[in-house]
Amino acid sequence: MTIVTTSPEAGGEFRSLSSNAWEDLTNGLQRTDLWGRIGWLDVKRRYRRTKIGPFWSSMTLGVYVVSVGLVGSGLWNQNIATYLPYLTSGMLVWTLLSMIIVEACTLFVLGHALFRNVRFEYSVLAYALVWRNFIVFLHNVVVYAAVVLLLNVGLLNFATLLAIPGLLLVLMNGVWIALLVGLVCLRFRDVQPLVQTAIQIAMLVTPIFWTPASLKGHYQFFFVQLNPMFRLIDVVRTPLMGEVPTLVSYVSAIAITAVGWAVTYYTFRAFRKRIAYWS
């Protein structure tokens, strides 16, 4: 047996094996190849051997918003040309956000087969999860495009472009949500059903089917103004409706991002090393 020393410098420096949370997050982000691939393959697997692939998700969303939209516009006496785009854009963001939260529950629980056999940055799994849901989101945008083009082209203007920074905010939140929820659900296995129930209720108490203006007084303050879900949806939905979101919404969304990341970073730093043991 021979020992080939083709690149004597390949070894690099003599370093400690343990890494910290910051390195995990940043090095993980740089491994775009890896999380891009994991996320993409996840989508591909889910729709493998179907003819229209992820557009099944768009189909579901489309049928959903049209049927609920028709009932809703009658129920709340709304103009279908504004209500349907409102519902569609709200559902678009809601689907992205809620799927990230629900799937985050199994982030580390299902990922253990990987990280108990190879070492890689745990954050890679979170980036992959957000990326995978973003891919599905892009397919869902078709529904919005169809609804707006058919019913109310007038909604599209320069303000619509503000949806892009809004979406970036949502995605940044998606990563911390994935990490935090993933970590908590790994340690406490009964949080997962709790989250699923909470999400269903959140969908009803957040202005998605109904408009913020339809609530008054304390209710409005509690379910709309204080609702973080509303803020995150608002920074994307309002531009999609051709208007500029309020400053309050932007400040709130940025504050949610900052606080969420701070809590997550602290938790991740404290418990990251336990992940392999908890799984």
Partner 1 sequence: MARVELKNIHVDFPIYGTQHLSLRNTIYRRATGGAIQRDTQNRDRMVVRALSGISMDLVQGDRLGLIGHNGAGKSTLLKAIAGIYEPVSGSIMVQGRVTPLFDMMPGLDVEDTGYENIFTSGMLLGMSREFIERKIPEIEEFSELGEYLSLPVRTYSAGMTTRLGFALVTALDPDVLLMDEGFGAADLRFAERSAERMDDFIGRSRIMILASHSDSMISSICNKAAWLNEGHLVELGPVDEIFEKYHESVHRGPARKVMEEGIAEVVDAEPVSASSLSYNEHSIADINLADRRSRTTGEVIITRLVAKDETGFTRWEYRPGETVNFEIAYKAVTSVPNLALLFRICLPEDQVSGRPLQVISEMREVLSVERMKAGTCGSLKLTLPNLELAPNKFSLYVCLGRSNYSGFFDVVDVNVALPELVVTNDHPSAVGAGVILLDYTIKQNM
**Residues at the site binding partner 1, with contacts judged by CB under 8 A:** 1-5, 8, 10-19, 31, 33-34, 37-38, 41, 44-45, 48, 113-120, 187-191, 194, 273-274, 276-279
In the complex with partner 1, which residue's Cβ is closer, 22 or 221? 22
In the complex with partner 1, which residue's Cβ is closer, 77 or 117? 117
In the complex with partner 1, which residue's Cβ is closer, 6 or 77? 6
In the complex with partner 1, which residue's Cβ is closer, 4 or 247? 4
- Other Cβ atoms closer than 10 A to 250: 18
AA identity, residue 184 = V
Terminal CA-CA length for the chain: 39
- For 105, 129, 183, 197, 239, the CA distances from 102, given in Å and listed in that order, are 6, 11, 13, 10, 26
- Report the alpha-carbon distance of residue 108 to residue 185 in Å, rounded: 8
Copy the structure tokens of residue 234: 């608002």
For residue 10, the minimal CB distance to partner 1 (Å) is: 6
- Report the alpha-carbon distance of residue 206 to residue 199 in Å, rounded: 10
Helices in 152-227 by DSSP H: which ranges?
163-187, 191-205, 217-220
Q: What is the DSSP string of 235-259?
A: HHHHHHTTSPPPHHHHHHHHHHHHH
Task: Say what angle helices 228-240 and 80-104 make with each other, to 10 degrees.
Answer: 130
AA identity, residue 257 = T
In the complex with partner 1, which residue's Cβ is closer, 22 or 76? 22
Copy the structure tokens of residue 166: 């809004």
For residue 37, the minimal CB distance to partner 1 (Å) is: 6
